[in-house]
Amino acid sequence: MMDFDSRREALLAAAASVFAARGYHRTSMRDLARASGMSLAGMYYYVAGKEDLLYQLQRSAFERVRRGAEEAVAAAGRGGVGGGEGGPEERLRAFILHHVTFFATHRDEMKVLSHEAESLTGARLEEVRELKKAYVGLCDALVAELDAAAEAPAGGGGTRLNRHVAVYTLFGMMNWIYTWYDPAGPVGIAELAETICRLFLNGYAAEVHVR
């Protein structure tokens, strides 16, 4: 028999699948009960209602992707060339690889995060916004490190890209893979992540003269 946390996680996974397919507003609690195999009464043991379910789903996804990203970045920082400290580009690469891998393997949850970001209300919406802000801030800080490590353009001229525009462009590249990427297709997750890494790092890093 599954414990409370396992049953809750199963409910969240079922809800992610239904919300991704039907959309939050077109989904009823009865739809969610059928998908999860729970009774309506049983569902209310884990959530207060449909919005609470969406909130728990979004909060859980943001917490997991951020925790994993922090661990990946920390590991990259400890595992530089020759076993030394990893540099800014290695840490940013670790963030990108983790993010893309997480999104590719949690497509329903990520579609819900992308499409239902404003479906919550009140304190729940504000909390999820803060979680998103903190996660974006982690990426922004990594790109800021890349900026700080950059050499000045030759002759003192040249203009760097706007860092915040670059960060949101990167998230745009990564977050919308659910619209076209097929994990069962010819491109594996590792190749997908590496391609996005190279597209962003080679373009952005060259512009700020890191390489």
pLDDT per residue, tens digit, the chain (211 aa), is 568 888 999 999 999 999 999 999 999 999 999 999 999 999 999 999 999 999 999 999 999 999 999 999 999 988 754 455 678 999 999 999 999 999 988 989 988 988 898 999 999 999 999 999 999 999 999 999 988 876 545 444 556 778 899 999 999 999 888 888 888 899 999 899 889 988 888 875 555 554 4
CATH number at residue 201: 1.10.357.10
Contact yes or no for 136/48 (Cβ under 8 A): no
Residue 68 is predicted with a pLDDT of: 96
Overall domain count for the chain: 1
In a domain, 66, yes or no: yes
Cα–Cα distance, 178 to 186 (Å, whole number): 15
In a domain, 51, yes or no: no
In a domain, 45, yes or no: no
Q: Tell me which residue has tokens 């597209």.
A: 199
| Host domain of residue 193 | 58-207
In a domain, 9, yes or no: no
Residue 1 is predicted with a pLDDT of: 58
For residue 13, give the amino acid letter. A
Q: Name residues whose C-beta falls within 8 Å of residue 145's C-beta, 6 or more positions apart in sequence.
A: 88, 91, 92
In a domain, 29, yes or no: no
Residue 137 is predicted with a pLDDT of: 96
Cα–Cα distance, 211 to 203 (Å, whole number): 11
Contact yes or no for 80/87 (Cβ under 8 A): yes
In a domain, 14, yes or no: no
Residue 115 is predicted with a pLDDT of: 87
In a domain, 43, yes or no: no
Residue 102 is predicted with a pLDDT of: 93
Name the residue among 211, 210, 202 with its Cα closest to residue 96: 202
What are the tokens at 34?
Answer: 């059928």
- Sign of torsion over alpha carbons 11, 17, 22, 23: positive
Q: State the chain's maximal CA–CA distance in angstroms.
A: 71
In a domain, 13, yes or no: no
